[in-house]
Amino acid sequence: MLESKNYIAIDLGASSGRVMLSSITSYKLSIEECYRFPNEPIEQDGSLRWDFEKLFSEIKTGIAAAVKKCGGNIESIGVDSWGVDFGFIDMAGQLIGNPYHYRDSRTDGMMEKAFAVMPKRKIYEDTGVQFLQLNTLYQVLAMSHSNSDILQKAYKLLFIADLVTYFLCGRIFSESTIASTSQMLDVRKLGWSTSIFKELQLPIELMADLVAPGTSLGTLKKELQIELGCGPIPVVAVASHDTASAVAAVPAAQDSWAYISSGTWSLIGVEIPDAIINDETFEYGFANEVGVGGKNRLLKDLMGMWLIQECFRQWQEEGTVFKYADIVEIAEKATPFTAIIDTDDHDLFSPGKMEDKINICLKKTGQKAICDKGQIIRVVLESLAFKYRDTLRQLEDITKRKINVVHIVGGGSQNELLSQFAADAIGCKVVCGPVEATSIGNIIVQALAAKQIDSLSHARDIIGRSSDLKEYLPINHNKWNKAQSDLKAVCN
């Protein structure tokens, strides 16, 4: 009989969190959700924050449920989360206030202030990271410019997943995949960029020691063992960044593939041996982030289902309630190729009144405003597919290799209409699944650490055999080519 081991994955997203339980043999992986909970920002002291106490309480509830479900037979536990956000702990090991949300407005104008001191090209040369005002660098710089009391009291900065892990086992660390989202890490040397901290006069001593995915960190704290009714479960540093975990779970069997981790954000990229930092990646705005197994993730962050999520929230506030299952039905009924938007327009970044913001974007490019809700959704989905196509062409230019298949993983892979749109726009096969890629990648790193699985390629074989994958082939590629050209021609 093949040996089976159980693992717990804590997977934290920017809108919800899950505690997942997985059982793995050398041939098969099964996964189930033990507990899901909302993770919404709160308004506090005029800023947008994360309610960390509530978040950690929900996590403990989920761990207890997973432990009970398998009778306490747990090999290890690991935590992943979205990138860039962080909390500070003081010398006593206590959290100093709730962590800020990456959409908080305090970073407005911070990129320009950074570039006035350190040239933009030099920052990119040191870090290889895409310029986004939500990056950790500009969050910390904003606190420095405002003489934040929190910064004065801080002992160490911990990214969200690593902060949760610290409260589970007591180990202070920064895992390298999530650290590489910060724009403070030298991705070539895999160490904190001393020039960034020196030039921008930020305290490098706040940064914790770096560890690689798969590092053993200890066991659950004694008080948590008692509270949760379990033994000394080992805690492992997985790929703390959720996208790094999701990419580790891509069931790819060849070299010429790209991935789209589709959710609130669409993160699109390729896996390569070493970072590429040059004029092309700088001009195109690509990030080099650390991956699992010594890989580099060359990728770009695009706004994804955030636009649909915010439209639904606005419509619900106005009295019209949609479910995500309604997306395909109402968008399919709408007219194709009536308009195009830049889904990464800065005006679409902040929460609230998304339908209105989309119409503002249409008007400023000389297009007509849209009233029909299904039409708005179709325009967003088509525009996302066009964005995927453009980004993949840039990746081909940079890497000098043709992409023959695109793997879409994560919750967005369930959107059949967007998946077909992507195949048509890109002009190649699209393979969707697994939906729970982030949790699966989290668990795979734990299994690698436990030496139950001997390599990332072995893990991907297991994932491919264990997942329900769906393929989409391009049907109207030429039509999509013409539509994109025609729509761009009418924009100002």
Where along the chain do its domains lie?
A: 5-242, 250-433+454-492
pLDDT value at residue 25: 87
Q: Which is the CATH superfamily of the domain at 5-242?
A: ATPase, nucleotide binding domain (3.30.420.40)
pLDDT value at residue 71: 85
Cβ atoms within 10 Å, residue 97? 16
Question: Does residue 278 contact residue 485 with C-beta atoms inside 8 Å?
Answer: no
Cβ atoms within 10 Å, residue 204? 12
pLDDT value at residue 254: 74
Structure tokens at 183: 């724009």
Peptide bond into 251 cis (omega under 30): no
CATH topology of domain 250-433+454-492: Nucleotidyltransferase; domain 5 (3.30.420)
Q: Is 242 a residue of the active site? A: yes
pLDDT value at residue 133: 95
> Considering 80, 126, 242, 424, which one is annotated as catalytic?
242
pLDDT value at residue 2: 60
Q: What is the rounded distance in angstroms from the CA atom of residue 30 to the CA atom of residue 433?
A: 14
Least Cα distance to 266 among 301, 307, 309 occurs for: 301
Structure tokens at 260: 């789209």
pLDDT value at residue 99: 98
Question: Does residue 33 contact residue 187 with C-beta atoms inside 8 Å?
Answer: no
**Is-same-fold flag (5-242; 250-433+454-492)?**
yes
Q: pTM, whole model, 2 decimals? A: 0.93
pLDDT value at residue 328: 84
Cβ atoms within 10 Å, residue 316? 11
pLDDT value at residue 255: 74
10-residue averages of pLDDT along the chain (492 residues) = 85 94 92 96 95 98 96 94 98 97 95 97 96 97 94 96 98 98 96 97 98 98 96 97 97 90 94 96 97 96 92 92 83 95 93 95 96 96 97 97 96 94 97 96 97 94 94 96 92 78
pLDDT value at residue 1: 39
